[in-house]
Each structure stands twice: as structure tokens, then as C-alpha cells.
Amino acid sequence: MTWYIELGKAADTLVNYILKVKKGEDVLIYGDDVLDDAVLKATAASVKSAGGTPTIVIYETREISFSEPPKPLAAAMMDSDVTVEFSAKAILYTQAQTNALKRNRAYICLTSLDREAMVRTIGWVNYPKMAELGDKLAEITNKAEEIKITSPSGTDFSAKIGGRKFENFGGTADKRKVIMLGGQTGGSPIEKTENGVLAFDGNVWPPDEIKSNIRTPIKCKVEKGIITDISGGSEADILRRYLASFKDPNMYRIAHVCYGYHPLARVTGDISEVERVWGCFQVGWGTQGPLLRPDLAGSYGWRAASHDDGIILKASIYLDGDPVQKDGKFVQPELLEIIKEMGVEQ
Ligand SMILES: [Fe+2]
């Protein structure tokens, strides 16, 4: 029975500042039955205080992440004004969620966030300043032609941005409908220009077996936007077997890349948190949902059996040769100004 007091504050920030819940709105809060249900209850209490009507749905834990939810949940999603996802097995990018977005005012994905992570990543951080940093990262990236990444784990990867828009996936409901936990800005470079090696040392999820326990970096060779080889130690063997099990070529296609800049995010097994670790570089493959392709106006880049995310720690990132960050520390002057105001010691 810990963290309830701080959790209330984090839930208030989520409901009032991030989601801007209004009087009379129906707010659906859902999760599968492996999650920490304290986050559901705290969020529901804050919705009630804000004058909204909270509904909590808990459903069976699906075997495969990013697969369609049970029909009653899909129906409930269609009838809510605001939808809050805590499910450990995310249903982001599913058809049910895509349909619901046509009706919802706002949706936030907080996959697998437990109470302690919610306190730290929502309650304790300077959310407005972190959003400013994310907006600036998007702005400078959208002016560039090429993004290149290296890392101590052995990453050496580049891609042409080619006019594809990078966005701050965090932020607030007055600026966007689909919202992720703050501290992540990303986009989808031109797939056929994505080449090199991605060496994941922070986390790869799913499958559950790997999580953050990576002893030997998982090296994924990428050619023209497709993972063509996976090497490393036992963790690489797990990922290779996992991806092969789908028998779906689209599970090997790079779907997006992201910066991570949440000053309080830790390298944990919680994907929502570890994807945002300060100075990481994060890559997703498998389904490229509408969120990732704003240029397609609601359509998928492509569908796959699931979606996967990997994290590279202490990344160095260059835009047209100019460094944005080196070894996980931001160096670009405009970013440094904001970081100073955030009070973050890199
Ligand atoms: Fe992803």
C-alpha cells in the first residue's frame, strides 16, 4: 500500500493538465488483469473530481501485444470522450482503437505504467518544460534531410527524413488527439533509406522474456528499412525466434524512430518508461499505425501481426552532420537553453 498520496497528484496532472477532462465527459480507463490497478482507481477518482464520469474496464490479458481487444472493450471505446490505456499488452494500432479515435476527443497510451512509474513520470516531472523540449526536437529534426545515430553498444544507422514529419508524441489534449507519455519525439523516415546496425542494450519489448535484462546487445542489421539479421547473445536468439513465430514479413519492417528525453525515466522492464530514458534512441518495427504517419491522414503505413520496440542507450544523434546529442547528452544550443530551464543536470 504505497505511493497512494503521490499517485493522486500524478492522476490529477494526467486528467487536468494532459487530458483536459471537462465536466460531463465520459472517460474510459482500461487495463488488462496483469496491471497495477491502483493507477486505474486513482485516475478514475481524478476524473470524478474534474466533473467527468469515469468507467473502469479490466479484461483478460492477451497473449500477443498490439492485438485486437475483446469486443465489449472495443464497444466501450467507441462511446467514450476520453480513453486512457494502461494495458500491459498494448492495443495501440489495433482496428478497434483506430475506429474509436474517430469518436474520442482524446486518447492516451500509458502501456504497463505502474503506480511508482506513474508518480515519477507524470507526477514529479516538469511536464510543460519537457513538452517544450520535445517540440523543439521536432522542429530542428523537421528542418533536416538526414538523421544518423551511433551508440557505445555498436549502433551505426542512418536514414533520410525526406519531409516526413517528426512530432512530440507527448504533449496535451489541446494540441493532439493521440497522446503518448511525455518525453518522446519521433517519426518515420523514408523506409528504403534506413540502413545500418541497431544495437539494442536498453530493452526490447515484446517478448516479455527480454525486457531490460540485456547482457549482450541485440544487433539488428537493417537494409532498406527491413531487419535482415539479428545477432548477439541469448537475448538476440529470443528476439529472432519471437519475430519468426509470426511468419509475417511486415514484422521486420522499421516503423518509426524516436528521441527519449524524460529526465526521470529509468531503464526498467516498463516499456512506457524505458522508451523515454534521457538520451536514448528508440526504434519500433512491425505495424506502422496511423499515429506514425500523419502524412497519410488516418491510414496505416502497413499492418503487421504485432509491433515491437527497442531502446538504444547513450545514443549520439546527428542531423545533417550536426550533433543533437552525444553519448546520451544533448548538445544542440537551443535544446541546452530549455534543459537549463528544466534544471536537468546531464
Ligand atoms: Fe513503437
174 and 67 inside one domain: no
Strand 26-32 to 82-85 pairing: parallel
> Do 105 and 155 belong to one domain?
no
Which pLDDT value is given to residue 92? 86
How far, in Å, is the centroid of ligand 1 from the Cα of 282? Answer: 8
pLDDT band at 271 (very low <50, low <70, confident <90, very high): confident
162 CA from centroid of ligand 1 (Å): 20
- Same structural domain, 180 and 106: no
Domain that holds residue 30: 4-123
Does residue 25 share a domain with residue 69?
Answer: yes
pLDDT score of 298 = 84
Of 16, 21, 12, nearest in space to 106 by CA: 21
Does 268 have pLDDT greater than 90? no
pTM: 0.94
In terms of Cβ atoms closer than 10 Å to its own Cβ (0-12, 13-18, 19+), residue 328 is buried
Percent of the chain with pLDDT over 90: 90
- The CA 32 to ligand 1 mean position distance, Å, reads 19
Last residue within a domain, chosen from 78, 107, 123 = 123
pLDDT digits (tens, 9 = 90+) for 50-77: 999 999 999 999 988 888 999 999 999 9
pLDDT at 93: 85
Q: How far is the CA of 272 from the centre of ligand 1 (A)?
A: 10
Please tell me the distance from the alpha carbon of residue 313 to that of residue 56, in angstroms, as a whole number: 35
CA of 309 from ligand 1 middle (Å) equals: 5
Q: Of 70, 99, 123, at which residue does a domain stop?
A: 123
Interval between CA 284 and ligand 1 midpoint (Å) = 4
Which of 63, 97, 81 has its CA nearest to residue 21? 81
Asked if residue 184 and residue 88 are part of one domain, the reply reads no
Q: Specify which residues 53 forms β-bridges with.
A: 26
pLDDT in tens, 88-109: 998 888 999 999 999 999 999 9
User: Is residue 270 over pLDDT 90?
Assistant: no
Q: What's the 258 CA to ligand 1 centre distance in angstroms? A: 9
Distance 240 CA to ligand 1 centre (A): 18
Which spans in 146-230 are helix H? Answer: none
How far, in Å, is the centroid of ligand 1 from the Cα of 93? 10
Residue 138 and residue 185 in contact, taking contact as beta carbons nearer than 8 Å: yes
The reported pLDDT for the residue numbered 316 is: 98
Contact 255, 286 (CB under 8 A): yes
How close is the Cα of 23 to the center of ligand 1, in Å?
33
Domain boundary, last residue among 107, 123, 139: 123
For residue 206, how far is its CA from the centre of ligand 1 (angstroms)? Answer: 10
| E strands, the chain, in order | 26-32, 53-59, 82-85, 106-109, 146-150, 156-160, 167-168, 178-180, 184-187, 195-200, 203-205, 218-223, 226-231, 254-260, 281-288, 302-312, 316-319, 322-326, 329-330
- C-alpha 203 to ligand 1 mean position (Å): 12
Q: How far is the CA of 50 from the centre of ligand 1 (A)?
A: 31
> What is the residue whose three cell numbers read 539479421?
229
> If you average pLDDT over residues 29-43, what whole number do you get?
95
**Distance of CA 304 from the midpoint of ligand 1 (Å):** 12
The Cα 126–Cα 59 span in angstroms is 33
Q: How far is the CA of 26 from the centre of ligand 1 (A)?
A: 28
Ligand 1 centroid to Cα of residue 283, in Å, is 7
Tell me how far the alpha carbon of residue 310 lies from the centroid of ligand 1, in angstroms: 8
- CATH code of 112's domain: 3.40.1830.10
* Contact (CB, 8 A) for 19 and 44: no
Q: Give the integer Cα–Cα distance in Å for 115 and 167.
A: 27
Tell how far the Cα of 241 is from the centroid of ligand 1, in angstroms: 19
Buried b (16+ CB within 10 A) or exposed e, 207-216: beebbbebee
For residue 176, what pLDDT is reported? 92
Pair 274, 248: CB distance under 8 Å: no
Contacts of 281 by beta carbon, 8 Å cutoff, 6+ apart: 149, 151, 155, 257, 258, 259, 260, 311, 312, 315, 317
Examine the pLDDT at 217 and tell me if it is beyond 90: yes
pLDDT of residue 1: 58
Tally of domains in the chain: 2
Residues near 128 by beta carbon (within 8 Å), at least 6 away in sequence: none
Same domain as 254, residue 158: yes
Rounded to the nearest angstrom, the distance between the alpha carbon of 343 and the centre of ligand 1 is 29
Instruction: Count Cβ atoms below 10 Å from residue 340 Cβ, excluding itself.
Output: 10
Quote the ligand 1 centre to 66 CA distance (angstroms): 10
- Residues 291-316: what's their mean pLDDT? 94
Q: Rounded to an integer, what distance in angstroms lies between the CA atom of residue 45 and that of residue 273?
A: 23
How far, in Å, is the centroid of ligand 1 from the Cα of 65?
Answer: 11
Average pLDDT of the chain, as a whole number: 95
- In angstroms, the CA 185 to CA 190 distance is 17
Question: In the prediction, which pLDDT does 108 show?
Answer: 97
Kindly state the DSSP code that residue 46 receives in the 8-state scheme. H
Sequence-separated (6 or more) residues with CB below 8 Å from residue 25: 52, 53, 81, 82, 105
Both 114 and 147 in one domain: the answer is: no
91 C-alpha to ligand 1 centroid (Å): 12
How far, in Å, from the CA of 266 to the mean position of ligand 1?
18
Q: Are residues 251 and 322 in the same domain?
A: yes
Tell me the CA–centroid distance for residue 253 and ligand 1, in Å.
12
Same domain, 74 and 164: no
46, with CB counted inside 10 A (0-12, 13-18, 19+), is buried
Distance 51 CA to ligand 1 centre (A): 33
Same domain, yes or no, for 65 and 102? yes
Same domain, 36 and 177: no
Q: What is the pLDDT of residue 309?
A: 95
123-142 per-position pLDDT tens digit: 999 999 999 999 999 999 99
Give the C-alpha separation, 265 to 279, whole Å.
11
Residues 280 and 187 in one domain: yes
